[in-house]
Chain A
Amino acid sequence: MPRVGVFVCHCGTNIAGTVDVPAVTEWAKTLPGVVATSDNKYSCSEPGQASIRKVIEENRLNRVVVAACSPRMHEATFRRAMVQAGLNPYFLEIANIREHCSWVHGNDKAMATEKAKDIIRMAVAKVTNNEALFPKTIGITKRALVIGGGITGIQAALDIANAGHEVVLVEREPSIGGHMAQLDKTFPTLDCSACILSPKMVDIGQHPKIKLMNYSQVQKVSGFVGNFEVEILQKAKRVDYSKCTGCGTCWQKCPQKVDSEFDVGTGKRTVIHIPFPQAIPAKPVIDWAQCRYCKFLDWKAAGEQGKKPPECRVCEKVCPVQAIDFNQQDQVVTEKFGAIVVATGYKTFDPAVYEEYGGGRLPDVITSLQLERQMNAAGPTGGEIKRPSDGEHPRTIVLVSCVGSRDAQKGRPYCSKICCMYNAKHAIMLKEHDPGVQVYVFYIDVRTGGKDFEEFYLRAIDEAGAVYLRGRVSKIYQDGKKLVVLGEDSLMGQPVEIAADLVVLAAGMEPNIGAAEIAQTLHISYDTYGFMVEAHPKLRPVETNTDGILVAGACVGPRDIPESVAQGSAAAAKAVGILSQDSLTVDPMIAQVDPAKCIGCLLCVAVCPFKAPYSETTRDKRTIAVINEALCKGCGICVAHCRPKAINLHGFTNQQLLAEVQALW
């Protein structure tokens, strides 16, 4: 006989402020199977749990309904309390009367109370049909995969490796380093970005526990926490890394120059290249699509039509160790991991959609990242600020905030967080590079939330003499050699017109190219912009709803460097938490076939995305389906498909779900 206990939580006033908790508690006694009810100020607190355990023992309860917050919040907490009270933890159901009731119906208390009763009625009906379930344990592959070799991924990989676990770091580009490697200085300390990043990059290259896979991409992920199987595509570098010494002869001699991605179009690179001098690995790749020899081969394959491109092969001729291998092909390797850290980072917003700012056609309107490359001593201009149009030193420079941030019309209503601070940095740095310049900054608000941030911003005004103008820029157009910037000073209430030599757009952050595809490959959630969704924005900031997959850094939302590093470390700690265990318990809420009912149609085998069901012949020569417990994820696709209703899903059985529906009438 089910003996159900119903525990209604006040959650302070979160529930009790809207739902009449004492009345609901009293009413719940009338439900079929319920033998005890009680209410608690905070059920999840230790005293709350103790009182639940006491009621369970006193009334010899064998089923429990906790009417409180979402099961996504505290189901695990109350399952533990069940175990402590000596019950199977799966005899618990949560009635979500906070997120789904009191918090959304605060304006109608009577209705909310009635709805809470219904929710509890459904949970009681379900729990009466619950069965005892016993989790199984599985082994763990003690290796971690880190996707993305920016500062976040570097930090995560180093922390996991230093804890003693093997790490594979996958980077899409030829070198790790990410955006931080492109920066000249960092706010608010103005320390040199490369100087603090390079040692960490070198550590990655030399760490005995870290395997770096550059020029590679994750293309398929299967499995589950502790046992992921990942297909990694290694793009053909056409350089044999086992022979290459990184001497640099090839990229000095390569005759084909193209725009450098690393310099954001402000400089050139060769086709066989390392993106920047401190690159790790310090060995080149051939950008095959742009290579002269590739074009020659294409021309040959197309039947030698048209003009013959040069059959270059200079790199092959000059390489002292014969490391160039034009026949190298893309390779797919499959590796096993216990945990995955996603740190795919961001890209800067493309301001070309701002027609009023020239739509990308005015040469002297550049982005902050392009300015950053110009400022860098190792950059294309050797650290000199030059106008792209004529190479002259600009004297009047306008910085425009919030380009692709806080602009709902451009589909980017969120704040990119870092731009206010890097604008202040640029104002200070521009003055340092050339004391004769005058910097103007157009802003909506200056947001300086962070340690020493406000002081840094004031430095830009007081020391660098930057003029901050509150208002949006309405138009930028070319007038002779000058750029005319039209805007508004909303504090003075008057229009402003500045004749500038250079305009720098503070482009906001958006998810990196391919972020949504990575999320789909991993089956984790992402928001409308493509930022990854964390399991809980406050309490589980680096976890996802998929166990074993962690997210960190700017792929989750706009972050500055300290936050990204902190998140990389946090994700590493979570990964190490998984990898340091010897076995994991797996969710017993999976599908099971009743062999007596199975007709052997094997529709389940056809529909399962995880290949969990397989066919078996019984002793009486019948074909039936059986489900591999290790592969089943408990989605229930097969259950709903099963014609003779031979498959059921533990935890969400047909009986349980129908009881919930029926309870309402």
Chain B
Amino acid sequence: MVTAYQPRIIGFLCNWCSYAGADLAGTSRISYPGNIRIIRVPCSARVDPLFIVKAFQYGADGVLVAGCHPGDCHYSEGNYHTRRRLALLHSFLDFTGIEKERLRLEWVSASEGKRWSQVVTDFTAQVAALGPRAK
């Protein structure tokens, strides 16, 4: 039997919304693909673009950054910084030859367990479709 390609995905989740949303997916037993490894950060704005680039350098097939919806940031405006930063990083990824579809920014609130599972399912499928990274 040939095992299907299983991408390795890293998720940076803000503590207040998305991490809690992922917790809620657990509490509600909403399953999703197990390719993602979650790193808890206080705010999505804590995510240094360096972390994402390093993750790709080590061998990650995809990186998901998730934070509170715009306007709902626990720290008022952290997610706006994230949004701008990742927009820049997206164009940089293209330049380095990493498909920009491998990096995604999503807003998932603490009450959106179901949405979290959909985001992961969708992103995992997207990264899997891209196949392994070109060396």
Contacts and interface: CB of A to CB of B under 8 A. Distances in A.
B67 to A, nearest CB: 11
B54 interface: yes
B117 A662 contact: no
B8 A664 contact: yes
B128 interface: no
A106 B55 CA distance: 28
Q: Which of A101, A118, A635, A649 has the most CB of B within 10 A?
A: A635
Contact of B26 (A99, A546, A635, A652): A99
B105 to A, nearest CB: 14
A100 B13 CA distance: 12
Contacts of A140: none
A103 B29 contact: yes
Given A105-B31, A607-B81, A661-B39, A633 B75 contact: yes
Contacts of A104: 25-26, 29-32, 34, 117
A105 B121 CA distance: 13
A72 B23 contact: yes
A580 B25 CA distance: 37
A72 B19 contact: yes
Contact of A533 (B38, B39, B110): B110
Contacts of B10: 661, 664
Interface string B2-13: 000000101000
Interface in A92-109: 96, 98-101, 103-108
A634 B14 CA distance: 12
A657 interface: yes
B72 interface: yes
Contacts of A73: 23
Contact of A545 (B58, B71, B110): B110
Contacts of A635: 42-43, 45-46, 74-75, 78
Interface string B71-97: 111111110010001000000000000
Given A70-B26, A105-B31, A546-B74, A100 B38 contact: yes
B23 A639 contact: no
Interface string A500-523: 000000000000000000011001
Contacts of B27: 99, 103
Nearest to B32: A104
Given A99-B27, A525-B110, A640 B47 contact: yes
A526 B37 CA distance: 27
A589 interface: yes
Nearest to B111: A527
A637 interface: yes
Given A636-B45, A649-B46, A98 B26 contact: yes
27 contacts: A72-B19, A96-B38, A99-B23, A104-B34, A105-B31, A106-B31, A111-B34, A119-B38, A523-B73, A523-B76, A525-B17, A533-B111, A609-B76, A634-B42, A635-B45, A635-B75, A637-B45, A640-B47, A640-B81, A640-B85, A649-B46, A654-B48, A657-B46, A657-B48, A658-B54, A664-B8, A664-B10
Interface of B: 8, 10, 15-17, 19-20, 22-23, 25-27, 29-32, 34, 37-43, 45-51, 54-55, 58-60, 68, 71-78, 81, 85, 109-112, 117
Interface of A: 70-73, 96, 98-101, 103-108, 111-112, 115, 118-119, 122, 519-520, 523, 525-528, 533, 545-546, 589, 607, 609-610, 633-637, 639-641, 649, 652, 654, 657-658, 660-662, 664-665
Pairs of residues from A and B, 7 with the lowest C-beta to C-beta distance, nearest first: A99-B26, A636-B46, A635-B75, A103-B26, A527-B111, A635-B43, A609-B76
